[in-house]
Amino acid sequence: MISTMYQNRRTALFNALPNKSFVIISGYQQKVRSKNIKYHFRQDNDFLYLTGFNEPDAVALLYSDESKDTGYSYTLLCRPKDEAQEVSFGVRAGVLGAVSQYGADDAFDIAELEQALLSKLTDHTNLFISDELGRFSNQVVGWLSYQRQSCSFDTIKQYRTLTPLAKVLHPMRVIKSSHEIDKIKAAVHASTAGHIAVMQACKPGVNEALLSASFNFAISQYGCSEVAYPNIVASGNNACCLHYEENCCNLADGQMLLIDAGGELEHYASDITRTYPVNGKFTEAQSLLYQLVLKALDAAIAKVTPGACWNSLYETCMTVMAQGLIELGLLSGTIEEVMRTESYKRFTIHKTGHWLGMDVHDVGPYHDENGQWRKLESGMVFTIEPGIYIPLSATDVPEAYRGMGIRIEDDILVTQNGHENLSINIPRTVDEIETVMATSL
Ligand code: GLY
Ligand code: MN
Ligand code: MN
């Protein structure tokens, strides 16, 4: 069933390509951590999306072939079987497995890449490449030559066209299949347990690193052996650094804790942020600022439905937060002035969302062909994540608000008639948070 799914994706891709196309998709190689110690391998997402092949050092070729019913052929180049290497580092499919298990029409040792590729690359005039790491940068120019040997006096010598495969493939990846939605939901489900575990373990004196480990431990019980990005566990002023990853400070009474963490399950990401008081009880200032961010988030989520404009979610968050910041006395002027001068950006800093899928910042355009903001469609999955950040250095702001960053981030699926907030089960109102923290273990 799974191999049919990948075959269907390859066919859908090929149907979107012009005649005489030749597609080169490079998988990732294993990255070195130090000398002969490697990082845990994670496959390139485009490669995995199209092949399901999860070994390092592989390349897939898809190319127009009129002799096939489908109109194209599929060649996979991969590491050969090697008993000694497999005992040390794990089983390989090898070239036979590439055909029998992964549905390639033929397969070769990766060492024969250039030779195999040139034997398949014949009258294909359109070259598409997915090569995130630029592995083939030096060879591509040679592969582009076409009819260069022609000596006919009235023939113009040509090169092949070169197009990033992303231009065709990434728009397809924006709309998730039900299979993919189930994977994202499972990752969010694991993260729900992770965030609740951290909320329960959070108290003054605990270290950020311990909370990060608590998250990882909890999600591992749901099958997540990876996180989708390094956990951000930021107490107090640390939360004003958007990608704080040191996670090394002890939590202090009276601070807020921001945790942005998402488990990854079978290559699908979740990306969720919660912010709450370290001691489990909001001060008045913390509560006011927190509820403002939550109001902005809920206002944006309420707009999510097919046909809504992507940027309206950001605009909604900014309008709500600007109005609230004026009412709290943190911004001066009328709402019109604040929106026109964008003075709210001092505290709201970043955009409020991104596609979510195999990548945490998943691929695909946010604009249509005319340069207009994209309209939402059923099957899209993305985050909404407004925030307000007031560093200790903001000495013109009342002290009660200083030294905190508040971000709340949910994962949203666009459905046929509206939306589903996939991360709704992680406490997010003041009451829900205080209740969970008061009853913690
Ligand atoms: N965790 C990264 C982000 O929220 O975009
Ligand atoms: Mn995010
Ligand atoms: Mn995040």
The CATH number covering residue 152 comes to: 3.40.350.10
Residue nearest to atom 2 of ligand 1 (CA): 271
Residues 281 and 404 in one domain: yes
The reply to whether 77 and 226 lie within a common domain is: no
d(CA 193, CA 219): 7
Give, as residue ranges, everything with CB less than 5 Å from ion ligand 2. Answer: 271, 383
Model confidence at 31, pLDDT cuts 50, 70, 90, reads: very high
Claim to verify: residue 215 and residue 135 sit in the same structural domain: no
What is the extent of the structural domain holding 430? 175-438
- pLDDT over 70 for what percent of the chain? 98
Q: What is the CATH number of the domain that holds 414?
A: 3.90.230.10
Q: Note the pLDDT of residue 154.
A: 79
What pLDDT shows up at residue 157?
81
Total count of domains within the chain: 2
My answer on whether 201 and 319 are in the same domain is yes
123 and 213 fall within a common domain: no
pLDDT at 113: 97
pTM, two decimal places = 0.96
Query: Residue 149 burial (CB < 10 Å; 0-12/13-18/19+)?
Result: exposed
Domain boundary, last residue among 117, 141, 172:
172
What is the rounded CA–CA span in Å between residue 370 and residue 347? 32
Do the bridges between strand 21-26 and strand 126-130 make them parallel or antiparallel, or are there none, so unpaired? Answer: parallel
Closest CA to 295 of 430, 432, 435: 430
Single residue among 131, 155, 172 that ends a domain in this structure: 172
Question: Residue 439 pLDDT more than 90?
Answer: no
Residue 146 is predicted with a pLDDT of: 83
In terms of Cβ atoms closer than 10 Å to its own Cβ (0-12, 13-18, 19+), residue 208 is buried
Q: Which residues, at least 6 apart from 399, have a Cβ–Cβ distance to it below 8 Å?
A: none
Ligand 1 atom nearest 271 alpha carbon = 1
The answer to whether 198 and 276 have CB atoms below 8 angstroms apart is no
Closest ligand 1 atom number to CA of residue 260: 1
Q: Whose CA is nearest to atom 4 of ligand 1?
A: 271
Round to whole Å and give the CA distance between 12 and 3.
Answer: 14
Residue 219 CB: number of other CB atoms within 10 A? 28
**Phi-psi bin for 179: left (phi > 0), alpha (psi -120 to 50), beta?**
alpha
Residue 168 confidence (pLDDT) above 70: yes
Q: Looking at the structure, do residues 285 and 421 belong to the same domain, yes or no?
A: yes
pLDDT digits (tens, 9 = 90+) for 133-151: 999 999 999 999 887 766 6
pLDDT of 403 over the 90 cut? yes
What digits encode the pLDDT tens for the residues 180-222?
A: 999 999 999 999 999 999 999 999 999 999 999 999 999 999 9
Q: Write out residues with Cβ below 6 Å of ligand 1.
A: 229, 260, 271, 360, 385, 409
pLDDT in tens, 332-386: 999 999 999 999 999 999 999 999 999 999 999 999 999 999 999 999 999 999 9
The single-letter code of the amino acid at 180 is E
Residues 364 and 275 in one domain: yes
Q: What atom of ligand 1 comes closest to residue 407's alpha carbon?
A: 4
Dihedrals φ, ψ of 412, to 5°? -120, 135
Residues 236 and 164 in one domain: no
**Of 172, 207, 227, which residue constitutes the final position of a domain?**
172
Residues 267 and 290 in one domain: yes
Name the closest-CA residue to atom 5, ligand 1.
Answer: 361
- Which residues pair with residue 108 across a beta bridge? 77
CB atoms within 10 A of CB 178: 8
Cβ(175)–Cβ(379) under 8 Å? yes
CA 75 / ligand 1 centre spacing (Å): 36
218 and 157 in a common domain? no
Q: How far apart are CA 235 and CA 405, in angstroms?
A: 9
Q: What is the mean pLDDT of the chain?
A: 96
- If asked whether residues 236 and 157 sit together in one domain, one would say no
The predicted-structure confidence for 259-312, as pLDDT tens digits, reads as follows 999 999 999 999 999 999 999 999 999 999 999 999 999 999 999 999 999 999
What value does the mean pLDDT take over residues 223-236?
A: 97
- CA gap 290, 181 in Å, rounded: 30
- Specify the pLDDT at position 441: 61
Question: What integer pLDDT is reported at residue 150 of this predicted model?
Answer: 65
**Distance (Å, rounded) from C-alpha 150 to C-alpha 173?**
40
Nearest to 361 by CA among 381, 389, 375, 378: 381
pLDDT beyond 70 at 233: yes
HEC assignment per residue over the chain = CHHHHHHHHHHHHHHCCCCCEEEEEECCCCCEEECCEECCCCCCHHHHHHHCCCCCCCEEEEEECCCCCCCEEEEEEECCCCHHHHHHHCCCCHHHHHHHCCCCCEEEEHHHHHHHHHHHCCCCCEEEEECCCCCCHHHHHHHHEECCCCCCCCCCCEECEEEECHHHHHHHHHCCCHHHHHHHHHHHHHHHHHHHHHHHHCCCCCEHHHHHHHHHHHHHCCCCCEECCCCEEEEHHHHHCCCCCCCCCECCCCCEEEEEECEEECCEECCEEEEEECCCCCCHHHHHHHHHHHHHHHHHHHCCCCCCEHHHHHHHHHHHHHHHHHHCCCCCCCHHHHHHHCCCHHHHCCCCCCECCCCCCCCCCCECCCCCECECCCCCEEEECCEEEECCCCCCCCHHHCCEEEECEEEEEECCCCEEECCCCCCCCHHHHHHHHHCCC
Please check whether residues 146 and 197 belong to one and the same domain: no
Ligand 1: residue of 188, 361, 423 to mutate (most ligand atoms within 8 A of CB) is 361
CB 286 within 8 A of CB 295: no
Is 252 in contact with 223 (CB distance < 8 Å)?
no
The atom number, within ligand 1, closest to the CA of 232 reads 1
